[in-house]
Amino acid sequence: MTLNLGVLASGRGSNLGAILRAEAQGELPARVAVVIGDRPGAGALDVARRQGVPAFCIEPGRDGRVAYEARIVSCLERHGVDLVCLAGFMRVVGPALLGRYPGRILNIHPSLLPAFPGRGAQRQAWEHGVKVTGCTVHFVDEGVDTGPIILQRAVAVGEEDDPEALAARILQEEHAAYPEAIRLLAEGRLTIAGRRVIVAAPGSGGEGGARCGGLY
Ligand code: GRF
């Protein structure tokens, strides 16, 4: 079964690009069915359109978060989306989206959570003086960067690093981590058990990530 992905983004879209590359190389039992940006200038919309992927700008209005998310959900549903991937989407997801896609929303964050949640994680880590940081792919819950962790990749912080150089190396790891997490879910190898995500061995998964649906 091929999973239909809906990618939500606010920024340049390099993680979207990495997911599309993995898809093109046949590394994912998944395809990006639609990309939604929350502002017209989101580079991710151009990344999508260049690849012929349907892309829509859905901006928040005065109607509040529930109505805003209802508009997003209706676009995702129109494109048959099974799994929502937040890729630099600068908004906290609320009950309307979470309720429609339980256990089916992922996020990528540029730190080793639970350290340095929220914005500017790479700079936060550098300012704190940690020797190791990295990136995390996790299920989304109602908190900010708090959901169960699927996988993490570490990046050493060098003496010569500045926040920009560090962020660039973390981004390289993000581009490997996000497609890998999507593949694990699409192969049905992820089970959420409380705060823990159990990753099954290859070949032992169910169909299309069925284990995650409804568990969350
Ligand atoms: C990434 O660093 C991601 O971890 C964070 O936002 C950034 C998005 O970058 N959530 P891009 O738009 O995918 O290039």
In a domain, 139, yes or no: no
- What is the reported pLDDT for 211? 54
Q: Look up the pTM and report it.
A: 0.94
* Ligand 1 neighbourhood includes 108 CB (under 6 angstroms): yes
In a domain, 193, yes or no: no
Q: Report the share of the chain in percent with pLDDT over 70.
A: 94
* Ligand 1 neighbourhood includes 31 CB (under 6 angstroms): no
Q: Which of 22, 101, 9 shows the shortest CA–CA distance to 55? A: 9
Q: Which atom of ligand 1 is nearest to the CA of 15?
A: 13
Binned average pLDDT, 10 residues per bin, the chain of 216 residues: 95 98 97 98 98 98 96 98 98 97 98 98 98 98 97 98 98 98 97 97 65 44
In a domain, 37, yes or no: yes
What type of residue sits at position 149?
I
- What is the reported pLDDT for 115? 98
**Cα–Cα dist 108/9, whole Å:** 11
Is the link from the previous residue into 163 a cis peptide, with omega within 30 of 0?
Answer: no
Please say whether the beta carbons of 94 and 8 come within 8 A: no
The single residue listed with the structure tokens 């005065």 is: 62
* Ligand 1 neighbourhood includes 122 CB (under 6 angstroms): no
Nearest CA to ligand 1 atom 2: 110
Catalytic residues: 109
Q: Ligand 1 centroid vs 132 CA: distance in angstroms?
A: 19
CATH of the domain at 64: 3.40.50.170
Nearest CA to ligand 1 atom 9: 88
Number of structural domains found in the chain = 1
**Cα–Cα dist 64/82, whole Å:** 25
* Ligand 1 neighbourhood includes 11 CB (under 6 angstroms): yes
In a domain, 10, yes or no: yes
Q: Which domain holds residue 91?
A: 1-101
Q: Which atom of ligand 1 is nearest to the CA of 171?
A: 2
What type of residue sits at position 58?
I
Q: What is the pLDDT of residues 5-43, one digit of tens each?
A: 999 999 999 999 999 999 999 999 999 999 999 999 999
Angle at 112 (CA atoms; ends 87, 17), nearest 5 degrees: 25
